[in-house]
Chains A and B, each alone.
Chain A
Amino acid sequence: MATLRFRHASALPGFGLALGYTLFYLGLVVLLPLAALVMQAAGLGPRGIWAVATEPRVVAALRISFGLAFAAALVDCLFGLLIAWVLTRYAFPGRKLIDAAVDLPFALPTAVAGIALATLYAPNEWIGALLAPYGIKVAFTPAGIFVALVFVALPFTVRTVQPLIIEIDRSIEEASATLGAGRWQTVRRVILPMLAPAMLTGFALAFARAVSEYGSVIFIAGNLPYVSEIAPVLIVIKLEEYNYPGATAIAVIMLALAFCILLAINLLQAWSRRRFGHA
């Protein structure tokens, strides 16, 4: 009987060196700086963090950040499903090219996306000029933030749902049709429940990305306190004032809130997996 050991025997060499270097580099680049954040937060204490969390400007920024990220993730979830469905199920010219283009927000630097969107939606430019006669303003309003967040988070929802649509066993759809279900009934009662857990995962990833986004938002937002100022912008402002405790407090609140929401989504996902019985 083997005793409990740190690692199992292996014929391959280099474990000590590889793991040692991995831990060293991880510690230096990731863990040490994160420890600084934890120490700074511990120094503030719950009361210090709460004091920052209840500043009206911080409350407003958090509400804007989380509310718009939620809305953007929701829209991306719906359109992500639509795009993934169209890309996997229908044949049309340019499908492969469009499929590759979905990853564009991953590859395009956020600052570039930011100035491009700001220019598109500015009142006297491209789309902004079309909307202006109807009194719709996008750039330099919360709507602009929403547009930027929809852009950056879209690939997450498409790419989580797409593999599952590919995997769906077509014979299940045929069975449903044989049993007399109309197409819409099959989609609603057979296909969508199978995709629900993946859509939740996609939503969670999109939401997490949208909440933390900075580069693509700041150009189009206008960054007006209480109106269109997101939490990451407030962190940067506090840092520029050398207010390290204030910046840390907002960062910690954001991390905690995001963690709670993602935990809730994970629980919901576990529930839907049990309910609908599909990975």
Chain B
Amino acid sequence: MPDVLVRPRNVSSATTERAVVRALLIALALAFLALFLILPVVVVFAEALRKGVAAYFATFGDPDAQAAIGLTLTVVAIAVPLNMVFGIAASWAIAKFEFVGKNLLITLIDLPFSISPVVSGLIYVLLFGAQGYFGPWLKSHGIEIIFALPGIVLATMFVTFPFVARELIPLMEEQGNSDEEAALTLGASGLRAFLTVTLPNIRWGLLYGVLLCNARAMGEFGAVAVVSGHVRGFTNTMPLHVEILYNEYNFAAAFAMASLLTLLALVTLAAKTLLEMHYGEALARTPRV
């Protein structure tokens, strides 16, 4: 570096803080993050492995633990694809067309994000619970929704409802209609234009939305706790099983199950960060909070 550009030591830059202040602020921010974000993750793995690796893996041999993992995978396998199809349909209608009431529709789609998880479960109990509006009818027809798989799937669908649509709507709006119009002009059918033009255009955004949707679906606790009834081996998802084990003071097993969910969260974060780094221009530009 040429000498001219080197600042004299005693003159600080006008548009940044003094080095001491900088170091102090960095230290304070890192200390806060270490205490509130990093330490809880460290605790999960430390507690899970407290009795050794063999004991850790042994906890997954428990049939109830396996049933919980199976149930969570089943719920996710139903809820996530349904919300994905909805997200694609909603963003196609909202981003590609102009119609009356569009903003209202977007607000309604975002609604589940502003509702407490417990209330998200409550509304399904009010509909399908024993004393709910459809409760007696369901009972006389032998259909179980609350305290059974359908209730858990519905509550999960509700809390993860906006994820895919929220990512795809701004993305499709940014991309406009011209690609699809060109395909139609060249003789492609509507379906073909969607499959060969739209879908490749939105694939990274779709993956991003599905990733976040999946993480929330696997980890949802409050809404599912209200509708599940906590029947061991039947209506216990992984997060609910964590709760049961913890409340039974079976900490090693609780943290072992929690460590799986933590791994899922870390993998989701890593994938999300990679997508933002490498395909940032193929994701929606609006800040996602």
Contacts and interface: CB of A to CB of B under 8 A. Distances in A.
B25 interface: yes
B78 interface: no
B15 A79 contact: no
Given A22-B105, A244-B132, A82 B28 contact: yes
A82 B33 CA distance: 11
A248 B126 contact: yes
Nearest to B221: A215
B268 A170 contact: no
Interface residues of B, number: 101
B260 to A, nearest CB: 9
Contact of A36 (B40, B105, B127, B266): B127
B119 A22 contact: no
A183 B97 contact: no
A239 B212 CA distance: 30
Tell me whether chain B's interface is mostly helix, strand or loop, or mixed.
helix
Contacts of B240: 111
Contacts of A68: none
B222 interface: yes
B171 interface: no
A235 B239 contact: no
A86 interface: yes
Contacts of B231: none
Contacts of B114: 208
Given A6-B100, A11-B181, A215-B239, A86 B40 contact: no
A12 B181 contact: yes
A275 to B, nearest CB: 23
B150 to A, nearest CB: 12
A186 B125 CA distance: 55
A140 interface: no
Interface in A178-214: 178, 183, 187, 205, 208, 211-214
A214 B117 contact: yes
A220 B10 CA distance: 50
A116 B161 contact: no
Contacts of B262: 108, 112
B26 interface: yes
Contacts of B215: 107
B222 A18 contact: no
B16 interface: yes
B65 to A, nearest CB: 15
Contacts of A18: 89-90, 92-93
Contacts of A66: none
A1 B132 CA distance: 52
Contacts of B138: none
Contacts of A86: 25-26, 29-30
A85 to B, nearest CB: 7
A229 to B, nearest CB: 13
Interface of B: 12, 14-18, 22, 25-26, 28-30, 32-33, 35-41, 43-44, 47, 82, 85-86, 89-90, 92-94, 96-100, 105, 108-109, 111-112, 114-119, 122-127, 129-133, 154, 157-158, 161, 177, 180-181, 184, 190, 193-194, 212, 215, 218-222, 225-226, 238-240, 242-243, 246, 251, 254-255, 258, 261-262, 265-266, 268-270, 272-273, 287-289
26 contacts: A7-B97, A11-B181, A15-B96, A18-B89, A21-B85, A22-B90, A29-B154, A30-B161, A82-B25, A82-B29, A90-B26, A98-B33, A107-B268, A108-B265, A110-B222, A111-B261, A112-B219, A154-B37, A183-B12, A212-B118, A213-B116, A214-B222, A219-B246, A232-B116, A232-B117, A254-B119
**Shortest 7 CB-CB contacts between residues of A and residues of B:** A109-B219, A212-B116, A177-B14, A13-B190, A215-B221, A33-B123, A7-B99
